Amino acid sequence: MAGKLLIVDDSNLNRHLVATLMRTMGVEVRDAASGSAALAKLREEPVDLILTDIQMPEMDGFALLAAVKADPALAHIPVIMVSSLDDRGAEARSLEAGAQDYIHKPYEPNLLKIRVGAWLARKGQSDEQSQRIAALEKHNAELLTTLKKQGNNLLMDPANGWLSRRAGLTAMQKLTAAAERFHQPFACLLVQLDQEPAAIQVAADVINSSLRASDWASRYDAQQVLICCPNTAIDQALNLARRWIGLLEGRLQNLSPQAQKVSIGLSQWSAGCDLMNDLDRALREALAQPGSSCQVSRPADPATPPPRWSPG
């Protein structure tokens, strides 16, 4: 098993015994005889997991845990607290302070191997996920730069910064390929707008202020805006749509005494789906509602209908 473990214990014998056991699992082991020595080693080279005794002179395990969690560069490292204290309060205090696990001494070797192995595996998965997200964000940023370099003719509405329909669909196609490649969620929203220029400007202000640097907005047609949200699950997109409806209804009513209806269709990419067709269907369902509404179209278990939401 790959992974770097830091063992912190003021007992030379304990450090040796645990290190020997961990090396049988293929774990790369470092050790420290005190909390302060552990911090110094961590700041030189972070590890994947910390296994620390609680009872140590000068800087005990609780103080080390607090220092690790307070340091932005180290806070992501999981910590397992170890103690011979027959005290449930120590276990509770450890977990409340941010430790991921607590193990009682004396060690049961197989149990220790299982617990350490599980946390190293989880840390490895988390690191892989972070690397995929970073690669996806870099890919999307490069895509945005490329499209912008192709000229302002891609922008149907320079005042709003929205891409044209053609450019938006091109971006969707490329973002879909990236989502499949990096195994990340990808959600899209199709927003129905009022044709009045003032209403469009209000919608642009609300939408643009909510978008991340990695998100895309394009004019799908005269009344519709397509929003592409990489690395976004459908439930996150649904929360965004609900927020837009609340903001848009209030601001649009200030433009006209007549109640303004806001309709949004949502869908999440999955292998083999027709994302644009799913969005069109979801928007039609939203438009069929008596008031403002956002409707979701996504693959789901037939027994579980997709979520729907309408205010009031």
The 10s digit of each residue's pLDDT in 181-204 is 878 889 999 999 877 778 888 888
| Phi, psi (degrees; rounded to nearest 5) at 48 | -95, -20
The 10s digit of each residue's pLDDT in 52-110 is 999 998 899 999 999 999 998 999 899 999 988 666 788 889 999 999 999 988 888 88
More confident residue, 154 or 101: 101
pLDDT band at 140 (very low <50, low <70, confident <90, very high): low
> Is the N-terminal amide bond of 305 cis, ω within 30° of 0?
no
The pTM (predicted TM-score) of the whole model is: 0.53
The 10s digit of each residue's pLDDT in 48-65 is 999 999 999 889 999 999
Order of all β-strands in the sheet with 28-32: 28-32, 4-8, 49-53, 79-83, 101-104
Residues 6 or more apart whose CB falls under 8 angstroms from that of 256 comprise: none
Residue ranges and CATH numbers for the domains of the chain are 4-128 (3.40.50.2300), 150-309 (3.30.70.270)
Q: Cα–Cα distance between 102 and 8 in angstroms, integer? A: 14
| Token pair belonging to 253 | 């009513």
Q: Which of 2-11, 24-33, 81-90 bottoms out in mean pLDDT, i.e. has the lowest?
A: 81-90
Residue 295 has pLDDT above 60, yes or no: yes
